[in-house]
């Protein structure tokens, strides 16, 4: 897309103030924030957080949510709100869609990934992630995006030591850093939240099994973080210049193994269980086992398990000084997740992904 086409697109967006079907009220005097993956586990929460911040504070920004699934948003509610929000549907693996999404944008959140599906196809997914990130990087350059904020995985080690999943997450961050934008990367390990794969896998394993046959990866140390704290870091980083162009490790106050996490959850439930650790149980077999005993598909369990093979603890905690926040301990995070689950079961739905649906 040529520069003239971009400017034309921006003008068309501006002209849609009153007749945009998604309730768009665009004013280029405002900072324009793009949230990719806006219907996902992180993106939907971030979108809600920015909307609530804008309603409660006198902040001067416009929000654009980008997703492959526009039907997951309550467009009518967005249209009737006092917040300037646009929902755009598309696929970031399509370069033209990237340019449309980034046209006129000042700050872009990159919250998408493609590492689900059969592990036999992971090389294809990894290549798709690479292409998508390169599209996004090039389109950001073309559209003069000032900042990109990316949520990646907390991992240390050489590329040849990493799983395909974690290697791909690292590669995406490296690609985005090649853009002309100021790129901020937050690196997190296990993120705890209702509807998130990490919490769901933990929950089902503990609740459903009296005896657990576990691989040795359950002994690996990590630093789980509550999803609300992740959203705090993501949202506040737009207001703090010191976060520009930097990479931050983020984690909760507790360093635990997955075995520790299961024991703490079992104690909350007042449930006793036995654990048998089998060293030769591979990630592939582990994912099939999780698929067998829980509703979590092997295609989703495998990348989660692969990430748990590597120690994931915070080595650089400078973010605590830059964005001071009271981090929620692991036990409190679990209890909050359980309350969310009960609330959504009572309503007959547990879809936090459905942004602005009541």
Query: pLDDT tens digits, residue range 200-245?
Result: 888 888 887 777 777 777 888 999 999 999 999 999 999 999 999 9
Query: What digits encode the pLDDT tens for the residues 104-122?
Result: 999 999 999 765 555 555 5
Cα dihedral across residues 44, 50, 56, 62: positive or negative: negative
Assigned domain for 358 exists: no
Assigned domain for 355 exists: no
Instruction: Please give the average per-residue pLDDT across 137-144, as a whole number.
Output: 97
Q: Which is it for strands 61-67 and 85-89: parallel, antiparallel or unpaired?
A: parallel
15-19, 22-26, 58-62: which range is least confident on average?
A: 15-19
The whole-number pLDDT of residue 53 equals: 81
User: In which band, very low, low, confident or very high, does the pLDDT at 307 lie, cut at 50, 70 and 90?
Assistant: low
**Direct distance between the N- and C-terminal alpha carbons of the chain, in angstroms, rounded to an integer:** 39
State pTM to two decimals.
0.84
| Sole residue written with tokens 């973080």 | 225
- Give the list of residues 6+ apart from residue 241 with CB closer than 8 angstroms, or none: none
The whole-number pLDDT of residue 106 equals: 97
- Give the list of residues 6+ apart from residue 150 with CB closer than 8 angstroms, or none: 109, 110, 111, 172, 173, 176, 183, 184, 185, 186
Assigned domain for 352 exists: no
* Best CA proximity match to 198, nearest among 222, 216, 219, 164: 222
Assigned domain for 356 exists: no
Bridge partners for 31 per DSSP:
61
Distance of alpha carbon 16 from alpha carbon 39, whole angstroms:
23
**Structural domain boundaries, residue 258:** 3-347
Q: Which is it for strands 256-257 and 221-222: parallel, antiparallel or unpaired?
A: antiparallel
Assigned domain for 147 exists: yes
3 state SS for 292-309? HHCCCCHHHHHHHHHHHC
Distance of alpha carbon 59 from alpha carbon 55, whole angstroms:
8
Assigned domain for 229 exists: yes
Distance of alpha carbon 292 from alpha carbon 286, whole angstroms:
10
User: In which band, very low, low, confident or very high, does the pLDDT at 15 lie, cut at 50, 70 and 90?
Assistant: very low
8 Å CB contact between 194 and 341:
yes
The CATH number assigned to the domain holding 213 equals: 3.40.50.720
| Sole residue written with tokens 């207001």 | 239
Instruction: Please give the average per-residue pLDDT across 249-255, as a whole number.
Output: 97
Quote the number of domains for the chain: 1
The whole-number pLDDT of residue 353 equals: 40
The whole-number pLDDT of residue 279 equals: 73
Residue 332, phi then psi, degrees to nearest 5: -65, -35
Assigned domain for 357 exists: no
Q: Phi-psi category of 270—alpha, beta or left, where left has phi over 0 and alpha has psi -120 to 50?
A: left
Assigned domain for 169 exists: yes
- Give the list of residues 6+ apart from residue 158 with CB closer than 8 angstroms, or none: none
């Amino acid at each position: 897309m040529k520069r003239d086409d971009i400017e034309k697109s921006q003008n068309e967006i501006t002209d849609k103030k009153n007749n945009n079907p998604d309730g768009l009220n665009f004013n280029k005097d405002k900072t324009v924030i793009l949230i990719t993956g806006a219907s996902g586990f992180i993106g939907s929460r971030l979108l809600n957080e920015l909307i609530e911040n804008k309603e409660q504070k006198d902040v001067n920004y416009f929000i654009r949510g980008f997703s492959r699934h526009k039907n997951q948003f309550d467009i009518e509610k967005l249209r009737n709100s006092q917040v300037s929000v646009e929902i755009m549907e598309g696929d970031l693996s399509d370069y033209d869609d990237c340019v449309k999404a980034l046209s006129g944008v000042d700050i872009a959140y990159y919250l998408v990934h493609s590492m689900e599906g059969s592990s036999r196809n992971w090389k294809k997914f990894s290549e798709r992630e690479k292409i998508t990130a390169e599209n996004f990087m090039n389109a950001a350059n073309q559209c003069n995006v000032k900042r990109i904020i990316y949520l990646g995985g907390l991992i240390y080690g050489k590329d040849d030591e990493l799983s395909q999943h974690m290697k791909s997450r690292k590669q995406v961050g490296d690609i985005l850093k090649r853009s002309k934008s100021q790129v901020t990367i937050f690196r997190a390990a296990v993120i705890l939240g209702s509807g998130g794969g990490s919490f769901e896998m933990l929950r089902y394993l503990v609740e459903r099994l009296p005896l657990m046959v576990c691989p040795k990866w359950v002994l690996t140390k990590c630093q789980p973080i509550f999803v609300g704290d992740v959203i705090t870091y993501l949202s506040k980083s737009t207001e703090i210049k010191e976060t520009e162009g930097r990479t931050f490790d983020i984690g909760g106050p507790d360093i635990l193994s997955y075995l520790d996490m299961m024991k703490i959850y079992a104690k909350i439930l007042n449930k006793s269980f036995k654990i048998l650790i089998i060293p030769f149980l591979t990630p592939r077999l582990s994912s099939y086992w999780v698929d067998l005993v829980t509703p979590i598909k092997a295609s989703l369990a495998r990348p989660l398990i692969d990430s748990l093979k590597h120690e994931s603890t915070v080595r650089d905690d400078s973010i605590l000084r830059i964005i001071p926040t009271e981090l929620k301990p692991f036990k409190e995070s679990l209890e909050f997740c359980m309350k969310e689950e009960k609330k959504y079961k009572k309503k007959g739905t547990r879809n936090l992904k459905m942004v602005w649906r009541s």
